[in-house]
């Protein structure tokens, strides 16, 4: 059966979102063929446009690799939404859109006169998804913050660290990358509902709330048993060895997890059955758990003689779950990711040959792909205004003179603008 | 279907597409999400119940296969039947069910379902509209497809582990396994894409999900850092490093009764929160001249030195050490400062924002008996609210509903299937 090449062909999305969670949610639709127009600001570029890494280390809004990861397959229009003519362009784009995305703090869309009530006057069946840190209502709704803060509030930081030590606060904005999976599911559902009923709606997605789905059993454990889960290093109640072991080389590690006694016997065989493995205290899981510190020390004596990939292959060949700890360099060269074409090769105007992150799954009939490279800020102003909105060249020129698309400020002016927002 | 059911269905985001859930712990969340959206999910367990019913924690902290809180959380809103799918009769029954289903979600090792004659290529012949989603550690193809994996192994091989922990020490995972929850959540979204495609053009397809690739999203600044600058970002304990600056920016701060997350932000985005922090320090008599003199509108973290950073952080650390995390959070909300407590499960259960939004949902467990407060829906929808949680099924709880009423098996057939261990 022939399916459409692009699942979301003809679906139009206006994206006011920024900084990871919002744009990543819409990446799902862009990668499967929706037309996504990012509304950006020259005065206040996306946080990721001003975040490293930059091509050649030169800081520039159009050379940001992190931003580009989320912007592939999308168009960019720059608007100064403090200006009425810019709001008018935004409204015209909304009038022909199916979905509007937003990930600003509650209050920002309201300030622009683009909240759900207003949007649904322009387009009665619009679907508006607003992903924010803590939702659109409630006493904490207006608190500004980033994913790193939700790592703390949402219980993730509490779960990283060694037992009875200070927790470790990961630098990765963990929940920012989790929430888009939930957002995309519900958004596509809303699109299907609209197709069948003609009704749009407002989706209020709190990063805090959606993130709690990922630790739900621990919340039930507290609410029913009063038990508070804590960080437990890399150990696991029902497995030993279960940890990350130092290998040969600088900062080289291998994760090893042994759940059954059979797997343990297989691991002993791989290690060449050294004398200590014959000690009865290690032969059963309860024994290995009781003597886990000693066990880990002995296992590490073995692993530290070899490279992590070698340890991994030896153990995997005998059916023991083991995996080298890979860093970004390793992942860029990883044979599995290569064979699955996990990264998409692009040819970006400023970044040159650039490797984008694709979708983590393969649809057999309608695969996601790179249709266009990430845009420069405002790259499609002219195209969208003239070709899509049917503006005349004179009108477009007038808008440009009036600063509707934003001024390209020098750095000090840019900073001044920031202070006003 | 009664009129009442029909009315309820009107309010569902997706109108009861049938999902057959064959997954283990690595996939439960996928069909839980689809169930929340409105799908009719049938969890298919082996006779006697899934092995992963033995995953803790448990109600009353006592191991009991009918009281796994992990099972409760991720199988709510589903119905449940038992079926031995690796028996001849079991296969036939599954094929019959597949003929009328919209989705099949499975998390067996690659190839296993094909060996049973129940792979996508088999079932699409019975039902070309079926969406068949497979969740595995590394996907259905590639040199690692046969690898055995656990949460820790996937975390290791997707880069998140390397980025977490103290420098020089072993990298750390999140103590509650996350990688397959992310894979399952992604699988729900990917299955919905296939569903939308089917609803508009007619055909089903196979969805091949790799947990490794799902977790890879988490380190999406590390990959371009390598590609563009040949710099491999490293874990830095509780510090931000290498994102806006090469220096270490403190993320985790000790307070009187725990910890909070805060950091000094660079650029326009940080102006308000940084000014708010300095004003607070001034009120407590802790603002140094260095901090008071900073012009936050031009403050640029990339030009900061480690020494100056630490001088700026010292009075903030002193302020935090004087207060509890609840006090600090209250002030942060008032002053619009970007600071959050490091919440324990208790803090989350008592959180006022969640309560104000009616986040918690009481779910009835008549067998225990108990009412248990569950985390509520992951999103609030104005037109079609997501389903309220109905407790997870008991083993074979809906066998009669499905086998007798729907497949019209006779009581005698059912007794035979039961006796021979098929259901």
User: What's the rounded Cα separation, in Å, for the pair A287 and A292?
Assistant: 8
- Express each pLDDT in A319-348 by its tens digit: 999 999 999 999 999 999 999 999 999 999
The reported pLDDT for the residue numbered B289 is: 96
pLDDT band at B150 (very low <50, low <70, confident <90, very high): very high
C-alpha span between A146 and B273 (Å, rounded):
12
For chain B, say whether A85 makes contact (Cβ under 8 Å): no
User: Would you say residue A260 has pLDDT above 60?
Assistant: yes
From the list B162, B172, B351, which residue is nearest A327 (CB)?
Answer: B162
- Based on the domain organization, do B284 and B208 belong to the same domain? no
Residue B130: name the closest of B32, B78, B200, B203 by CA: B203
Structure confidence at residue A416 as a pLDDT band (50, 70, 90)? very low
Choose among B14, B168, B262: nearest Cβ to A192.
Answer: B14
Together in a domain, B48 and B168: yes
Identify the weakest region by mean pLDDT among A2-16, B77-91, B96-110.
A2-16
Q: Are A204 and B379 in contact (CB under 8 A)?
A: yes
Q: Are strands A35-40 and A74-78 parallel, antiparallel or unpaired?
A: parallel
Q: Are residues B247 and B274 in the same domain?
A: yes
User: In this complex, do B342 and A169 lie within 8 Å of one another by their Cβ atoms?
Assistant: yes
**Residue A2 in this model has a pLDDT that exceeds 60:** no
pLDDT at A418 over 60: no
- Say how far apart CA B316 and CA B286 lie, in whole Å: 8
Structure confidence at residue A409 as a pLDDT band (50, 70, 90)? low
Beta-carbon contacts of A369 under 8 Å, excluding residues fewer than 6 positions away, are A31, A344, A358
Which domains does chain A possess?
Answer: 12-214+340-420 (3.40.50.10540), 242-327 (3.30.1540.10)
pTM for the whole structure: 0.96
3-state DSSP of chain B: CCHHHHHHHHCCCCCCCEEEECCCCCCHHHHHHHHHHCCEEEEEECCCCCHHHHCCCEHHHCCCCCCEHHHHHHHCCCEEEECCCCCHHHHHHHHHHHHCCCEEEECCCCCHHHHCCCCHHHHHHHCCCCEEEEEECCCCCCCCCCCCCCHHHHHHHCCCCCCCCCCCCCCCCCCCCCHHHHHHHHHHHHHHHHHHHHHHHCCCEEEEEEHHHHHHHHHCCHHHHHHHHCCCCCCCCCEECCCCCCCCEECEEEECCEEEEECCCCCHHHHHHHHHHHHHHHHCCCCCHHHHCCCCCCCCHHHCCHHHHHHHHHHHHHHHHCCCHHHHHHHHHHHCCCEEECCCHHHHHHCHHHHHCCCCEEEEECCCCEEEEECCCCCEECCCCCCCCCCCCCCCCCHHHHHHHHCCCCHHHHHHHHHCCCC
Looking only at the bridges linking them, the beta strands covering A99-102 and A12-15 are parallel
CATH classification at residue B251: 3.30.1540.10
- Residue A317: count other Cβ atoms within 10 Å of its Cβ: 11
Residue ending a domain, among B299, B315, B342, is B342
Between chains, do A69 and B223 touch, taking CB under 8 Å as contact? yes
Q: Distance of alpha carbon A238 from its chain centroid, rounded?
A: 31
Half-sphere exposure of A96 (CA within 13 A, CB side): 14
| Cα–Cα distance, B258 to A318 (Å, whole number) | 44
What pLDDT is stored for residue A80 in this prediction?
Answer: 97
pLDDT digits (tens, 9 = 90+) for B261-277: 999 998 788 999 999 99
Give the tens place of pLDDT for each residue, A341-365.
999 999 999 999 999 999 999 999 9
Clarify whether residues B163 and B100 are in a common domain. yes
Q: How many CA atoms lie within 13 A of A397 on its CB side?
A: 3
Which residues of chain A lie closer than 8 angstroms to B160, CB-CB?
Answer: 172
| Cα–Cα distance measured from residue B38 to residue B327, given in angstroms and rounded to the nearest whole number | 41
Please give the average per-residue pLDDT across B135-151, as a whole number.
Answer: 98
Average pLDDT, chain A: 94
pLDDT tens-digit series, residues A293-311:
999 999 999 999 999 999 9
Residue that finishes a domain, picked among B274, B309, B342 = B342
Looking at chain B, the whole-number percentage of residues with pLDDT higher than 90 is 91
Q: Do A148 and B261 touch (CB under 8 A)?
A: yes
Determine the residue among B268, B272, B304, B331 to mutate to test chain A binding: the one whose Cβ has the most chain A Cβ atoms within 10 Å: B268
The average pLDDT across A213-241 equals 97
Please tell me whether residues B66 and B167 are part of one structural domain.
Answer: yes
Tens digits of residue pLDDT in B236-259? 999 998 776 779 999 999 999 999
Stated length of chain A: 421
Q: Is the pLDDT of residue B322 over 90?
A: yes
Within a domain: residue B65? yes
B179 with B292, same domain: the answer is: no
Reported as a pLDDT band with limits 50, 70 and 90, residue A421 is: very low
Q: How many CB atoms lie within 10 A of CB A225?
A: 15
Is residue B319 in some structural domain?
A: yes
Q: Are A15 and A74 in contact (CB under 8 A)?
A: yes
Q: Convert the pLDDT of each residue in B359-415 to its tens digit.
A: 999 999 999 999 999 999 999 999 999 988 899 999 999 999 999 999 999 999 999
Residue with tokens 């969740």: B135
Contact A182 B378 (CB under 8 A): yes
Is B350 part of any domain?
no
Q: Quick check: B305 pLDDT over 70? A: yes
Contact between A159 and B175 under an 8 Å Cβ cutoff? The reply is: yes
Q: What pairing do the DSSP bridges indicate for beta strands A321-324 and A253-257?
A: antiparallel
**What pLDDT shows up at residue B402?**
97
- CB–CB contact A365 B203 (8 Å): yes
Percent of chain A surpassing pLDDT 70: 96
Q: In chain B, which residues have their Cβ closer than 8 Å to the Cβ of A27?
A: none
Three-state DSSP class for A95? Answer: helix
Whether B279 is in a domain gets the answer yes
Q: How far is B413 from chain A (nearest CA, A)?
A: 37
From B116's Cα to the closest Cα of chain A, the distance in A is 21
For residue A50, the model assigns a pLDDT of 87
pLDDT at A413 over 70: no
Q: How far is A386 from chain B (nearest CA, A)?
A: 31
Asked whether residue B383 is assigned to any structural domain, the reply reads yes
Statement to judge: residues B275 and B366 lie in one domain: no
* Contact A154/B at CB under 8 A: yes
Number of structural domains (chain B) is 2
| Cβ-Cβ contacts under 8 Å, B174 against chain A | 156, 159-160, 174
d(C-alpha B282, C-alpha A77), whole Å: 42
Residue among A360, A356, A18, A15 nearest A176 (CA): A18
State the pLDDT at residue B5: 46
pLDDT at A390: 96
pLDDT tens sequence across B208-229: 999 999 999 999 889 999 999 9
ipTM of model: 0.96
**Do B391 and B332 lie in a common domain?**
no
Whether residue A160 and residue B143 make contact (CB cut-off 8 A), yes or no, is no
A232: chain B residues, CB-CB within 8 Å? 175
CA B275 vs CA B168, B270, B271: distances in Å = 35, 8, 6
- pLDDT above 70: percentage of residues in chain B: 97
pLDDT on residue B177 = 98
Task: Look up tokens 């803060």; give the residue.
Answer: A149
Return d(Cα A416, Cα B271) in angstroms, integer: 10
Question: Is B321 in the same domain as B183?
Answer: no
Please state the rounded mean pLDDT for residues B123-151. Answer: 98
Q: Are B294 and B191 part of one and the same domain?
A: no
Element (H, E) at A211: helix A207-212
Whether A405 and A396 have beta carbons less than 8 Å apart is answered as no
Rounded to a whole number of angstroms, the CA Rg of chain B reads 26
Radius of gyration of chain A (CA): 26
Give the pLDDT confidence score for residue A415 in this predicted structure: 42
Residue of B nearest to A200 (CA): B383
Q: CA-CA distances (angstroms) from residue B131 to A64, A134, A321, B120, B195?
A: 37, 34, 30, 9, 7
Nearest to B208 by CA among A122, A291, A409, A364: A364
At residue B302, the pLDDT reads: 84
Supply φ then ψ for residue B127, to 5 degrees. Answer: -145, 90
Q: What's the whole-number mean pLDDT along residues A220-232? A: 97
Q: Do residues B264 and B330 both lie within one domain?
A: yes
Domain of B311, in residue numbers: 237-342
**Residue B231 lies inside a defined structural domain of this protein:** no
Size of interface A-B (CB pairs under 8 A): 546
Give the SS3 label for residue A179.
Answer: helix
Asked if A58 is an interface residue toward chain B (Cβ–Cβ < 8 A), one would say no
Task: Please state which of the ranges A200-204, A412-416, B35-39 shows the lowest mean pLDDT.
Answer: A412-416
Structure tokens, B52: 């992963």
Look at residue B4 in the predicted model and tell me its pLDDT: 42
Q: How many CA atoms lie within 13 A of B158 on its CB side?
A: 30
DSSP state of A240: S
Q: Which of A161, A227, A358 sits opposite B61 (nearest CB)?
A: A227
Same domain, B366 and B334: no
Q: Which position has the higher pLDDT, B5 or B371?
A: B371
Residue B6 has pLDDT above 80, yes or no: no
The pair phi, psi for residue A61, each rounded to 5°, is: -60, -20
Residue B158 lies in a domain: yes
How close is the nearest chain A Cα to the Cα of B140, in Å? 9
- What would the pLDDT profile of A74-92 be if each residue is shown by its tens digit? 999 999 999 999 999 999 9
Write down the pLDDT at residue B47.
Answer: 96
User: For B39-62, how does the pLDDT look when each residue is reduced to its tens digit (9 = 90+)?
Assistant: 999 999 999 999 999 999 999 999
Determine the residue of chain A that is closest to B191 in CA distance. A185
Any CB–CB contact under 8 A between A95 and chain B? Answer: no
Question: What are the DSSP calls for A248-278, one per residue?
Answer: SSTT-EEEEE--SHHHHHHHHHHTT--GGGG
Min Cα distance A304 → chain B (Å) is: 13
In a domain, residue B147? The reply is yes
Last residue of a domain, one of B285, B314, B342: B342
């Amino acid at each position: 059966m022939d399916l459409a090449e692009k699942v979301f062909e003809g679906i139009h999305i206006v994206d006011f979102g920024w900084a990871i969670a919002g744009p990543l949610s819409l990446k799902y639709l862009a990668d499967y063929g929706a037309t996504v127009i990012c509304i950006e600001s020259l005065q206040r570029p996306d946080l990721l446009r001003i975040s490293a890494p930059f091509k050649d280390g030169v800081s520039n809004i159009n050379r940001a690799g992190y931003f580009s990861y989320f912007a592939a397959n999308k168009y960019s229009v720059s608007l100064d939404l403090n200006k009425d003519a810019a709001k008018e362009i935004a409204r015209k784009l909304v009038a022909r859109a199916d979905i509007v995305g937003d990930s600003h703090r509650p209050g920002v869309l309201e300030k622009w006169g683009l909240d759900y009530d207003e949007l649904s006057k322009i387009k009665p069946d619009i679907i508006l998804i607003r992903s924010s840190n803590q939702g659109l209502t409630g006493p904490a709704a207006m608190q500004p913050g980033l994913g790193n803060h939700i790592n703390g509030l949402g219980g993730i930081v509490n779960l990283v660290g060694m037992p009875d030590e200070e927790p470790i606060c990961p630098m990765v904005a963990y929940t920012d990358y989790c929430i888009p999976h939930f957002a995309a599911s519900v958004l596509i559902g809303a699109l299907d509902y609209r197709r069948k009923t003609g009704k749009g709606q407002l989706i209020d997605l709190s990063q805090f709330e959606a993130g709690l789905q990922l630790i739900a059993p621990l919340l039930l454990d507290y609410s029913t048993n009063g038990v508070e889960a804590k960080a437990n290093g890399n150990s696991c109640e029902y497995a030993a060895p279960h940890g990350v072991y130092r290998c040969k080389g600088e900062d080289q590690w291998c994760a090893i997890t042994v759940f059954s006694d059979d797997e343990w016997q297989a691991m002993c065989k791989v290690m060449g059955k050294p004398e200590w493995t014959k000690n009865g205290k290690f032969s059963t899981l309860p024994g290995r758990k009781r003597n886990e510190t000693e066990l880990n020390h002995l296992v590490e004596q073995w692993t530290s003689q070899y490279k992590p990939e070698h340890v991994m292959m030896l153990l995997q060949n005998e059916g023991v779950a083991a995996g080298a700890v890979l860093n970004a360099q390793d992942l860029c060269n990883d044979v599995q990711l290569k064979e699955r074409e996990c990264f998409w090769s692009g040819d970006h105007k400023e970044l040159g040959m650039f490797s984008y992150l694709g979708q983590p799954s393969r649809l057999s009939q309608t695969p996601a792909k790179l249709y266009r490279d990430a845009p420069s800020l405002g790259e499609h102003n002219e195209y969208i205004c003239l070709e899509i909105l049917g503006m005349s060249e004179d009108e477009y020129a007038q808008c440009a003179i009036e600063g509707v698309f934003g001024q390209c400020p020098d750095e000090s002016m840019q900073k001044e603008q920031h202070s006003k927002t | 279907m009664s009129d009442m059911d029909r009315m309820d269905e009107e309010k569902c985001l997706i109108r009861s597409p049938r999902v057959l859930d064959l997954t283990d712990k690595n996939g439960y969340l996928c069909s839980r999400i689809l169930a929340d959206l409105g799908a009719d999910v049938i969890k298919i367990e082996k006779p006697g119940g899934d092995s992963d019913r033995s995953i803790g924690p448990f109600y009353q902290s006592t191991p009991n296969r009918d009281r796994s809180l992990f099972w409760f959380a991720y199988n709510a809103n589903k119905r449940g039947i038992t079926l031995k799918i690796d028996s001849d009769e079991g296969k036939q029954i599954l094929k019959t069910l597949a003929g009328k289903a919209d989705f099949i979600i499975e998390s067996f090792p690659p190839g296993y379902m094909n060996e049973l004659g129940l792979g996508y290529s088999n079932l699409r012949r019975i039902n070309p509209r079926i969406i068949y989603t497979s969740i595995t550690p590394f996907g259905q193809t590639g040199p690692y497809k046969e690898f055995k994996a656990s949460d820790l192994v996937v975390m290791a091989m997707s880069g998140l582990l390397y980025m977490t922990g103290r420098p020089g020490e072993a990298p750390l995972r999140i103590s509650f396994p996350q990688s397959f929850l992310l894979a399952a959540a992604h699988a729900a979204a990917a299955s919905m894409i296939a569903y939308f495609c089917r609803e508009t053009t007619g055909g089903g397809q196979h969805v091949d999900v790799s947990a490794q690739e799902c977790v890879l999203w988490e380190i999406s600044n590390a990959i371009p850092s390598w590609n563009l600058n040949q710099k491999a970002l490293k874990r830095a304990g509780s510090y931000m490093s290498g994102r806006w600056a090469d220096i270490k920016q403190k993320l985790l701060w000790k307070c009187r009764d725990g910890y909070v997350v805060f950091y000094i932000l660079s650029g326009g985005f940080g102006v308000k929160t940084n000014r708010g922090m300095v004003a607070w320090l001034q009120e407590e008599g802790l603002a140094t001249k260095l901090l008071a003199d900073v012009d936050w509108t031009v403050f640029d973290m990339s030009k900061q030195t480690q020494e100056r950073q630490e001088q700026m952080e010292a009075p903030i650390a002193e302020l935090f050490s004087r207060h509890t995390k609840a006090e600090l959070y209250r002030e942060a909300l008032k002053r619009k400062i970007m600071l959050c407590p490091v919440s324990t499960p208790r803090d989350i259960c008592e959180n006022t924002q969640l309560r104000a939004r009616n986040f918690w949902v009481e779910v009835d467990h008549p067998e225990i008996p108990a009412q248990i407060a569950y985390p509520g829906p992951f999103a609030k929808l104005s037109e079609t609210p997501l389903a309220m949680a109905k407790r997870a099924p008991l083993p074979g709880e809906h066998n009669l509903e499905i086998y007798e009423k729907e497949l019209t098996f006779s009581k005698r057939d059912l007794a035979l299937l039961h006796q021979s261990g098929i259901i």
